[in-house]
Structures are given as structure tokens and as C-alpha cells.
Structure 1
């Protein structure tokens, strides 16, 4: 990216944020964690423009920063949302800190008693700092954009504010970020962007097991990711998902029929099914499936006019859900190490067959797309309602028409089946992935925010 592109980004930010006011949204916190703050009964709650601006930049960083594969991207999005939530939760008299609720998270900084805070500034400071920490390998142009966005937001939020209040709010946001980042560094995934294909991993050998797939024939991606710490610890020992059909090459077997279904479906796709597969592909060089889901979340936050604390809650819930869904899914992928449809079909049905989209470099069972979407879709359905209708506009710039859904279950179903249309998953991969994703989403919703 050239310096002119950086300047253009900065100009865009300045225009979009120039109307931002010094809105402090200083309400009393929840009774069990009382902190004396100024009465804000006459103030209008701050809007969500600051967090949305940071998520829009984060989607760009996911696309352009090496190593941010779907699970790694999901992790970054989760910690971004948690930092945002903790930076503004004390502005809401009914809010609850996630400290003591999330796995291993304790002693998060609190605002000073009786002091005034600008919560938008605190949110901006926390998000700028945590994103800088979570994406340490960004290119120089994007590093400059992060700094410029932080500075422009701060200028536009500080007008009319006391300088001590500005400084206090900035420092509080940075304290939150530092605490969240220090906690994140102990989860097992901190350096996932550096070593996605570890050479010490040796996959099992046998006719039912995963092998590298065309066209790149890459090593296994993130084989140890399933060992990472979940953000929401299950109340009961986690059980393995339903066992996939027993591997068999018998044409009468359930496994052969599942593979043949994929083979036949890809060979007979309708134009709409083809579009569905490509729309949800979200492969390398994109904002990834977790990024797509958080982009939908950002769109709905804007469409529905959520305020700062409402959006912080929803972003935290959606981010935590995709992170934990990725960990659970990758745990099962390398527990079962099931071969991909392209491998089975080329060996036992048609040696010359190829999938519509490239098969990613990791085992088949369960589906990551279905897991991510099942988790985030469950969170969004709880927030907006099961009958909420919406249109996903996230891929218009890439030449796709907007896609409309009558409810979030339709989105989950479409994203899940898109991987069968693409030829890279068996139907049972997606069905079980969506179910385990839903279970993750329900765990996330069990917390108090």
C-alpha cells in the first residue's frame, strides 16, 4: 500500500468521525461491583461507530497479514471483543465484567472511584492497543493506518473534554488491553500465526486418514490448535461429537454413499448452488469465515443503531463464540483425522474428479464453516430474535449480490451446506459441526455481560 492509500484512509476516517462528540456515557456500574461515577441520567448513550471502525480495519488486517488463518483470526477477533467489553462495561449500571467468568481471567483493572471517563475514548484506546498487540507482523502501511486511526479517533472524541479526563480514559483503555493481552498469551495460541504448519506433526497412516490434498498438497494446518484454552470452560466434561460413519469402500456402505453424494452434487450443481459455494468460500486472502461472521455482526450493529455498550456485548459474544468453536472443531479434526472427499473420490469413485473450491489443508471431520456459523449464528439469534430477517452485504464489493435470510438458522444452514456444494466436506461433517457450534454458542450466552 502506498503512502497515498494511507492518506486516503485517514481522510475517510476524519470525515466519518468529525461529527463524534465528547460523549462520556458515565452511568453507575452493577450493584455488586459498585464504583462511584458521575450521574449520567441526562446523557445520550454513545454510539457504536468507534468499535465498528476498528472491526472494519481488523477485517482488512486479517486479509493482508500472514498467518491469520481461520482459527488464528477467530482468536484475534475474540480478544478484541473482550478488550472492548471490559473497557466500557463500567459505563453500564447493569453491566457485568467478564473477569472471573472467562477461563483464567481475573483481576482486570477497574476505573478509579469518583473519576470521570469518556468511554468512547477508553474503547478506542483499548481496541487500538489490543489490535496492535494481536497483529505484530502487519506490514508498514497497515501499521501506519492503525496509528492514524487511533489518533484521528482521539482528536474527534476529545473536543470539549477535560485533558485529565482524556488522559485517564486513554490510560484505562491501555490498561485493559495490557491485561487482556497478558491473559491471552497463556492460551496456547499466541504464536499460531508464525507456525501454522509445524514440521514435528506426523499424521496417522491408513486408508481412512487424512493426507495432503490437491492442488498445493500442504502439510496439516494447526494440528495442535485443539489443545488451546477455551474462553468459556464447559460446566461438564466435554463429550466427543457423534461418530462419523464407519469408513468403508463398499458401495452399499453409509460412508461410500456420503462420498458419492458429494461427487454427484458437485457434478450437478445448479447456478444458485454454485454461487452459494463460492459466496461462503472465504478462503486464503479473505477475511476468513470468522471474519465474515463478525462483519455481519458489525453490519447489524450499525443497521440497528446499537449503542456503545450494546455493541460491546454483542461483539464480545460473537468473538468468543467463533474462537471457542474453532478450538473445539480443530480438536475433533485431529482426533478423528478423517480423509477429505477429494481423496476418497479420486481413490474409489473417479480418479479424475476435482472439487469446485480448493480443499483446505486439514482433516475433514468436523466442518469449520458449520462450527463457526453455528456458534455465531446462535449468539446473533439470541440477541436479535429467531425471526429476525437480514441481508448480508459483505461480499458486494467482490461482485456478489447481497444474500437475504429469513432468520439466522437459514444462514447457518446455507453456510454449512456450501461446503458440500464446494466438494470439500461430507454432509455429516457439516451437520455435526453446526450442532457442536450451537453448543458452544449456548455456553457463551450463559455468561453475564
Structure 2
């Protein structure tokens, strides 16, 4: 049964009715007299996603696919909560699979857009992180209250209440839609016990004692955009072989040699991009962190921030569905398995090998989508600094500089080779897979 986190509607509606009865003025029907979402700053967006980054790190069950899904629906809800106030923007309803919104937004009435966004993000966050620790859940409530109190001074109570009701009804529709995608309450079932890896040395096997496959059915989830699964599938990886002249063996030997001769800088890169659950907000959270930094650094307005997050959210969500579809179709083994079987039985990796098949690289796919989408927003030659891990002490989180978003994506991708957990094809073709997903997302928003 779908969980709903709701305000006391009856009290809100009574306030609205009371206020409307006392007013002698008819609603203003000229929408140009109202303040549109792009006239507000994006502080409410930046602070909510900073909190979401913490919650993703510290809430049980938030593996990369699960985080990508939560970000996906939250980003779509954020966009839909603001696009109605922009005369030149249209809904994603009818463009994303299964999304058919019937919002309660009313033309000709005033809305306070920061309140709309605060209520939207608070409700989405309370839903997706319902199993957060008591202290972290309190942080959600506190941030919501802080903004609510602040916004009370910005406009009258009727506008505030109307804005809250619109946001809550929208969230209900978004969450109902989300409940039918195949990933409902996925944070509570990351490792389905009934799944059995395929037999045969050519297929992926767990690489640690008692390891189980992570989200083996994720590729069957409904993507936001069908093309993100249908037209992004790469060619098959090199075929299994014991021939020392085969591409299969040569690729394994490449990983073996890179790890054995890893430079200090390569190890720093591997750890910077590892983004393991429980120690970070996972790779999707790293992408969200980069965008949040750019929004804050560039003083981007409320609507532009909402649209940027929606584009990235759709891309990240679909990147993990598309990637996982390929992973559990090819069931390609990890380098450590091949190397232990054919080259060196005692060899180990720099990074811990994740519990799912190798091909393609999830880091590559989602980083490719990230690069393509951010380039479309900020430009081809945009240089920036990634400060995502600057407060961490368990790794060298020194901020890293990039000349373009593609440079960043390529470093994130190759980091998996340095860590010993991916072959070259999974990295290179994963990036191409991600670039195509990014293109598909951009097309949806432009057409």
C-alpha cells in the first residue's frame, strides 16, 4: 500500500475558505502581475539536495540504483511543481512513461513558488527516506519548518496555503505513478534471495563469501524514457576464452598490470570516484552534488535549478535501469574472477568489487549521462571544481579540477580500471551508453 505523508488537509482547506470569504477582492486574472518561479533564488533547492545527499549516505538500503530512483522521482516532482508557473514551459506529463498528471494548479491565482518547492521536496524526502534515523528524520522536519516559517513573511496566508495544497496533491500523483514502476520500496529488498547466478565459468559469480546479487531485476523497471533502454544497448563484450592471445585474456591482463603498477594519483582517483554506499551518497549522489555546487556557485534561479535537477534526475534514473539491463543480460564476470582463475590466484583489487556483473560500468553510464546533460546547460568549455568529498577523512577528498564535463566523466570512468573492478570495454562503451541517454533526455525537454 502506498505510503502518503500529508498535512492536515481539513485545517488547510478551512483556512482557505475562511480567508476567501473575508476577501472583497476578486482574484487577479493577469498572470503577468504574479511573480514567476524564475524570479526567486534557488536556496530552497540547494539546501534540500544537500540534506538528501546526507540522507542517502546514512539511510539503510540506499544502494546506487535505489538512490538513482529516489533522485529521479524527486527531480521530476520538483520540475512539475514549478513549470506550471512558467509561460514558456510544458509538463513532462505524456512525455515520460506512465506520467499523466491532473494537477490542482489554477491559472489566474497567485502561488508562492519557494513554498511550493519546499512542500514538494519535504514530502518527497519524507517518503523516500521514511526509514532514516530518528535524528535524520528530525532534520527533514526541521528544514521544512525553517523554510515554512521564513516564507510566512513573504506573502499572505491564503497564497501560502494554496501553494502547500497544490504541492501535496502533486506529490500524491507523482508517488502513485512511482509505485507502479517495478521498484516500489526497493530500499528494503536490494538482494532478492531467490536469485541464482547463472552456472558456468563464463558468467558472473559473487566475488566474496555470502555475497548476493544486488538488484538483479532492476533492468526490468519502467524507465522514464523508453529509448534510454531500447537504443542504448552496446555490443556484447569480448567472449569468454582461456586463450592467452584472446581479447578476453588480454583485457584481464591489462587490469592485472594496471593495478599492480598503480601510481599514487591513480589510487587517489579510484578512491575519489568509488562512492561506496554508507560512506558516500553513492555515484548518483556524487552527480547530484556536482550539480548542486554549480547551481549554488552560479546563483541560478529557482526554476532553472528545478529544470536542471529534473534533466539530471531523469538521466540518472534511466542510466541505472539501462546499465542494469545490460549487466544482467550479459552476466559478465568481474576482473578479479577472471584473473584469479587464469592469471594469479592470489591477486586482489584496490577497490572492493561490487556485488553485480561487470558489463557495462555503472559509473561510466551515469557519468556519461551527467556530462552530456551538464554540457547542454553550462556549455562545452565549462571548467569547474568538484568539492564533493572535501570533508571526508577516510580518503583523499581534495577537490578536483576539470576543464570540461567530459573530462570529468572520463576520469570517473577510468577510475574503475585503476580500482581493478572493470575491463576497458565496460568503461568505454558504458560512457557511450551514457552519452546517448543524456541526448535522449535533452530531446525530451526541448521537444
Q: Same fold (TM over 0.5)?
A: yes
State the partner residue of 2:7. none
| Distance 1:371-1:42 versus aligned 2 partners, 3 A rule | closer
Whether 2:252 is the aligned partner of 1:256: answer: no
Q: Deviations over 1:96-115 (max 9, x none)?
A: 11111111101241411321
SS in 1 for 2:345: coil
| Distance 1:100-1:36 versus aligned 2 partners, 3 A rule | farther
State the partner residue of 2:311. 317
State the partner residue of 2:364. 370
| Distance 1:239-1:312 versus aligned 2 partners, 3 A rule | closer
Partner Cα distance (1:406, 1:107) in 2: 40
Structure 1: 4+ residue segments shifted above 2 A: 35-38, 40-44, 235-240
Q: Deviations over 1:185-243 (max 9, x none)?
A: 110011211111111111111111111113x5411000000000000122994463111
Partner Cα distance (1:423, 1:234) in 2: 31
Of residues 54, 63, 74 in structure 1, which corresponds to 2:68?
74
State the partner residue of 1:24. none
Partner Cα distance (1:41, 1:275) in 2: 47
Alignment of 1:207-222 (within 5 A): 207-214=201-208, 216-222=209-215
Q: Deviations over 1:351-402 (max 9, x none)?
A: 1100001000000001000011011111001111111100101111014211
How far apart are 1:39 and its partner, in Å? 1.5
State the partner residue of 1:302. 296
Of residues 257, 260, 265 in structure 1, which corresponds to 2:258?
265
Q: For this pair of structures, how many residues does the alignment match?
A: 414
Alignment of 1:125-140 (within 5 A): 125-140=119-134
State the partner residue of 1:444. 441
Of residues 303, 317, 320 in structure 2, which corresponds to 1:326?
320
Of residues 412, 417, 425 in structure 2, which corresponds to 1:420?
417
Of residues 372, 378, 384 in structure 1, which corresponds to 2:378?
384
State the partner residue of 1:338. 332
SS in 1 for 2:360: coil
| Distance 1:143-1:237 versus aligned 2 partners, 3 A rule | closer
Contact 2:223 2:229 in 1 (8 A): no
State the partner residue of 2:406. 409
RMSD: 1.6
State the partner residue of 2:189. 195
TM-score of the pair, normalised by structure 2: 0.90
**Unmatched tracts of structure 2, length 5 or more:** 1-28
SS in 2 for 1:243: coil
| Distance 1:49-1:257 versus aligned 2 partners, 3 A rule | same
How far apart are 1:431 and its partner, in Å? 0.8
| Distance 1:36-1:213 versus aligned 2 partners, 3 A rule | farther
TM-score of the pair, normalised by structure 1: 0.89
SS in 2 for 1:230: coil
| Distance 1:349-1:448 versus aligned 2 partners, 3 A rule | same
| Distance 1:386-1:209 versus aligned 2 partners, 3 A rule | same
Contact 1:38 1:114 in 2 (8 A): no
SS in 2 for 1:417: helix
Of residues 230, 234, 238 in structure 2, which corresponds to 1:241?
234
Whether 2:216 is the aligned partner of 1:223: answer: yes
State the partner residue of 1:123. 117
How far apart are 1:284 and its partner, in Å? 2.2
**Unmatched tracts of structure 1, length 5 or more:** 1-34
Contact 1:45 1:307 in 2 (8 A): yes
Partner Cα distance (2:104, 2:76) in 1: 14
How far apart are 1:44 and its partner, in Å? 7.5
Whether 2:150 is the aligned partner of 1:153: answer: no
Contact 1:36 1:113 in 2 (8 A): no
Partner Cα distance (2:384, 2:187) in 1: 33
SS in 2 for 1:404: strand
Of residues 28, 31, 42 in structure 2, which corresponds to 1:37?
31
Partner Cα distance (2:248, 2:161) in 1: 62
SS in 1 for 2:241: coil
